[in-house]
Amino acid sequence: MNGTSAESKFIVGLLLGFAIGAAIAIITAPESGFKTREYIRKKIINTGESVKGAAEELTDKAKDFTEEVSSRVREVAGDREKIYKKTWKQPKTRPYS
């Protein structure tokens, strides 16, 4: 069995367990159906907003990281080019002439 198959089975099991747990929680909830649905709706909206905010923050951090890495790569490439040009402009000598 490869890793992807095991991961897929785990995720399916996790989602199935979540769905069953949510169904049991709704059935045994101490509040009326309307109040329970309203509570769940608000929680879903709040969770969605939290996830959206976290995704935006993660995107910003990824952009900053990408810009930083690109800048450093350009610096290193520029330094290497200068060293290369400097090295090849020097007169060639033979070590054992």
Residue 22 lies in a domain: no
Residue 2 lies in a domain: no
pLDDT at 67: 93
Residue 57 lies in a domain: yes
For 22-88, the DSSP string reads HHHHHHT-SS-HHHHHHHHHHHHHHHHHHHHHHHHHHHHHHHHHHHHHHHHHHHHHHHHHHHHHHHH
pLDDT at 68: 93
The tens digit of pLDDT for each residue in 51-90 reads 888 889 999 999 999 999 999 888 888 878 777 777 776 6
pLDDT at 92: 64
Range of the domain at 51: 31-87
Q: Model's pTM, two decimal places?
A: 0.43
pLDDT at 8: 83
Residue 45 lies in a domain: yes
Residue 15 lies in a domain: no
Structural domains counted in the chain:
1
